[in-house]
Amino acid sequence: MLGSALAALALGLTTACGTSGPGADSDKAGVEVWMVEDASVNEVVQSAIDTYSKNAGIDGELVTYVNDAYKQRIQVALGSPESPDVFFNWGGGNLAQYVKANQVVDLTEAMEANPEFRDAFLPSVLDVAKIDGSYYGVPMQGVLPVVLFYNKKVFKEVGVEPPTTYSELLDLVDTFKKEGITPIVLPGAQAWTELMWLEYLTDRIGGAEVFQAIAEGKEGAWKDPAIIKALEMCQDLVERGAFGDNFSSLTSDNGSASTVLASGKGAMYLMGTWEISNQQEHNPDFLADGNLGFIAFPALEDGKGDPAAIVGNPSNYFSVNSDSDNVDEAIDFLVETMASDAYVEDLIEIGHVPAVAGIEDKLAETEHSEFTTFTYQLVSEAPSFTQSWDQAIPPAAAETMLTNLQLVFLGDMTPEEFAEAMEATQ
């Protein structure tokens, strides 16, 4: 047994002998694309790469990693010999840190040389890849705003309508509590879900400029009264029992939160539009019966913010690595594919709402056309699309923010303390 083991090992080692890294040994020009693992989108990108490679006569390759693994991987790889030509990122602060380290190619020139390409994208989405006035990335998948989902069946049974104003929301909280239903599902074990509440409330209270100041690193930006008020409102919701007793151990990753909504134990759920694929996966009947309702985040009566403003993930972006040996090919690949009809249609087919102008008709023919059309209108009519704060600010500050936000929701930290702690990271 030992002998055969050694033989297998020897065989394995010889076939697995390493290289000095990827991209080091190809003579043919190539474009290597790195992105996050997402089965359906990966397929779309793969076919785009294949088509482009064939036409341009180069080698194209797609490498994928799971979410957290991807972030670590790219951090270590950029600047090292084993790096991609094109890489996936979240725009905003996430992209900005790479730009600061001079790892990203400026695409402004390419944009100006191809104005139809630039104009094909929704400005609010494209602008998230604009750092210091220059373009560094191109949207590569659908828009993902945060909306308020609700269980239509539960609403009908209790006899209420979805909220269009915040005071209506508060009334609903009381109503559902009396019925023994958790008014709002909040997977509080993962702080980014609590962040969505903070983001929307801040925007409604003080407008998008409040966070804009933070993203720009302005002094005192975190102490804006809008933020304090928003945090107080969050704590108010917790005290009213809006999120139930167990929100701090509820998770979204394993489908728990989605199922709480689908099973009728919870009435409303503030979540990104990707939630529809979660529901498809975990509770297909709920979706098929047409019981998943969706509505924009309610307006705040005396708030300064525009009620049509939205928050969420504008999109994800492809950027070009400045260390790449194939910069021209990489740029060409992006310009040729990212707004092309084929690519856009492929994205629509997998249920995404691409960040591209003029696709209403195509969306009307999709499986969940009501939802996709709603999403598209929401985004194209939004005066501002604020990026998820944890992607927009530097990672160090984001980590602190998420930890402290959880403490606020648990009642272990006051809004003022939160502001102080965040100011210290500016």
Partner 1 sequence: MTSATTRVQRPGALWAAPALIFFGIFGLAPIAIVAGLSFTTWDGLGNPEWAGLHNWRTLPSDKLVGSGLMITLTLTVLTWATQTPLALAFGAWAAGPQRIRAVVSTIFFLPLLLSTAAIALIWQALLDPTFGLPAQWSELTGLSANVLGDPDLALWAIVFVLLWQFLPFHMLLYQAAAKQIPASLYEAAEIDGASPLQRFWRITVPQLRHTIIASSVLMIVGSMTYFETVLLLTGGGPGTATRILPLHMYLKGFSAFEMGYASAIAVLLVAVGTGLSLLVVRVSGYSQMTSEREGV
Partner 2 sequence: MSTITARPAGEQAESVTPARSAKRSAARAGSRRVSRPAYGAGIGAAIWLVLVVVPLYFLIATSLRGSGDYLSAGPLSIPEEITLDAYRRAFEVGFLKFLTNSLIVAFGAIILVLAVALPAAFAIVRSKSRVVRIGFTLFLLGLAVPAQAVIIPIYLLITRLHLYDSLTAVILPTAAFALPVSIVVLTSSLRDVPSSLYEAMSLDGASNFQIFWNLVLPLSRSGVVTVTIFVGLNAWNNFLFPLVLTQSMDTRVLPLGLWEFQTQYGTDVPGLMAAVVLSALPVLALYLFGRRQLLSGLAAGIGK
Residues that bind partner 1 (CB under 8 A): 71-72, 75-76, 78-79, 97-98, 101-103, 188-191, 245-251, 254, 256, 259-260, 265, 395-400, 403, 406-407, 410, 412-413
Do residues 104 and 96 make contact, with C-beta atoms less than 8 angstroms apart? no
Enumerate the H helices of 216-265 as residue ranges: 225-239, 256-262
| 39 vs 245 by CB, closer to partner 2 | 39
| 267's tokens | 């009435």
String of DSSP letters for 38-96: -HHHHHHHHHHHHHHHHHHTSEEEEEEE-HHHHHHHHHHHTTSSS--SEEEE-SHHHHH
Instruction: Out of 47, 114, 235, 277, name the contact with partner 2 by CB under 8 A.
Output: 277
| 368's tokens | 């969940």
Phi and psi for 7 in degrees, rounded to 5? Answer: -60, -45
Q: Which does 249 bind (CB under 5 to 8 A by kind): partner 2, partner 1, none?
A: partner 1
Closest approach, Cβ 59 to partner 2, in A, equals 14
Closest approach, Cβ 153 to partner 1, in A, equals 18
Find the radius of gyration of the CA atoms of the chain: 23
Q: Which does 407 bind (CB under 5 to 8 A by kind): partner 1, partner 2, none?
A: partner 1
Our finding on whether 274 is near partner 2 (CB under 8 A) is yes
Options 7-15, 170-178, 218-226, 386-394: segment touching partner 2 (CB under 8 A)? 7-15
How far, in Å, CA of 297 to CA of 169, rounded? 10
| 258 vs 387 by CB, closer to partner 2 | 258
| 17 vs 219 by CB, closer to partner 2 | 17
Judged by CB under 8 A, the number of residues near partner 2 is 46
Question: Residue type at 267?
Answer: A
| 108 vs 274 by CB, closer to partner 2 | 274
Q: How many residues does the chain have?
A: 426
Do residues 363 and 353 make contact, with C-beta atoms less than 8 angstroms apart? yes
How far, in Å, CA of 373 to CA of 149, rounded? 15
Instruction: Out of 43, 54, 81, 290, name the contact with partner 2 by CB under 8 A.
Output: 81
Residues 6 or more apart whose Cβ sits within 8 Å of residue 400: 421, 422, 425
String of DSSP letters for 305-368: S-TT-EEEE---EEEEBTT-S-HHHHHHHHHHHTT-HHHHHHHHHTT--BSBSS-HHHHHTSTT
Our finding on whether 282 is near partner 2 (CB under 8 A) is yes
| 110 vs 419 by CB, closer to partner 1 | 419
Site for partner 2 in 216-255 (CB under 8 A): 252-255
Our finding on whether 259 is near partner 2 (CB under 8 A) is yes
| 234 vs 296 by CB, closer to partner 1 | 234
Instruction: Out of 43, 50, 54, 69, name the contact with partner 2 by CB under 8 A.
Output: 69
Closest C-alpha to 319, from 168, 134, 138:
138
Closest approach, Cβ 65 to partner 2, in A, equals 8
| 30 vs 298 by CB, closer to partner 2 | 30
Closest approach, Cβ 278 to partner 2, in A, equals 5
Could you give the strand order of the β-sheet that contains 30-36, starting from the edge strand earlier in sequence?
59-65, 30-36, 86-89, 317-320, 138-139
Residues 6 or more apart whose Cβ sits within 8 Å of residue 135: 106, 107, 108, 111, 118, 126, 129
How far, in Å, CA of 232 to CA of 402, rounded? 16
Do residues 125 and 376 make contact, with C-beta atoms less than 8 angstroms apart? no
Site for partner 2 in 27-46 (CB under 8 A): 36-39
Closest approach, Cβ 139 to partner 2, in A, equals 16
| 259 vs 322 by CB, closer to partner 2 | 259
| 387 vs 404 by CB, closer to partner 1 | 404
Closest approach, Cβ 193 to partner 2, in A, equals 11
Closest approach, Cβ 365 to partner 2, in A, equals 25
Q: Which does 406 bind (CB under 5 to 8 A by kind): partner 2, partner 1, none?
A: partner 1
Residues 6 or more apart whose Cβ sits within 8 Å of residue 69: none
Our finding on whether 9 is near partner 2 (CB under 8 A) is yes
Could you list the residues that contact partner 2 (CB under 8 A)?
Answer: 5-6, 8-9, 12-13, 16-22, 36-39, 63, 66-67, 69, 72-73, 76, 80-82, 252-256, 258-259, 262-263, 272, 274-275, 277-278, 281-285
